[in-house]
Structure 1
Amino acid sequence: PMETGYRIGPNGSNIPRDIIRRFACAYNGEEVFSADLFPAVSANPFIAFTLVATTSGTIDFTWTDDTGRTQTASAMITVN
């Protein structure tokens, strides 16, 4: 979950900001889309892009946050 840095935690101090800074998409290992995100991004950003798939393969999605941690997801696509 993303944090704006403005919420107060249970100990009375601000919860540190932690937002998505970069989103990238790779198709069969080759980066085909990326976006650098900034503090004004919504808590649940909707990102749309187009990709022409010429062969079956894997699409990998990677999110990187303020602290440098990454989270990934993958999807297999089949082209007939």
Structure 2
Amino acid sequence: MATIRPRVKAPKKAAAGEIIEIKTLINHDMESGQRKDKDGNPIPRQIIHKFTAEFNGTEFFSVDLAPAISANPYLSFNAKVDESGEFTFRWFDDDGSVYEDTKSIEVT
């Protein structure tokens, strides 16, 4: 599997009450568990099964992902920002790993 690396694109500044777009992508093979290796043995499932986004410690977006999702899952969603703060993004892997990224935003 390639190195798992989350990436987030979000504005650094916004006006109070503005709706911003946030784009996320994580490098992950997303093995469904349905395929077999060259010897005919099943390749174990390993997917990012959940993604959450928080703003200043409050969750505002969450999604459960299924094995049919593509490799390197990309998500795009909106958030309304009323105050300056920090976004926290988390990807939860079947193997128990949690990948995290943060982005700050200044609201004027």
1:52 and 2:83 aligned = no
User: Which has the bigger relative contact order, CA under 8 A and spacing at least 6?
Assistant: 2
* 1:31 counterpart residue number: 59
Task: Give the TM-score of the pair, scaled to structure 2.
Answer: 0.64
Q: How many residues align?
A: 78
Q: Which runs of 5+ in 1 are unaligned?
A: none
Q: CA RMSD in A?
A: 1.6
Q: Please tell me the residue identity of whatever aligns with 1:26.
A: E
Task: Give the TM-score of the pair, scaled to structure 1.
Answer: 0.84
Partners of 1:50 and 1:7 lie apart in 2 by 38
The answer to which structure has the higher strand fraction is 2
Q: Which runs of 5+ in 2 are unaligned?
A: 1-27
Identity among equivalent positions (%) equals 41
* 1:8 counterpart residue number: 37
1:75 and 2:77 aligned = no
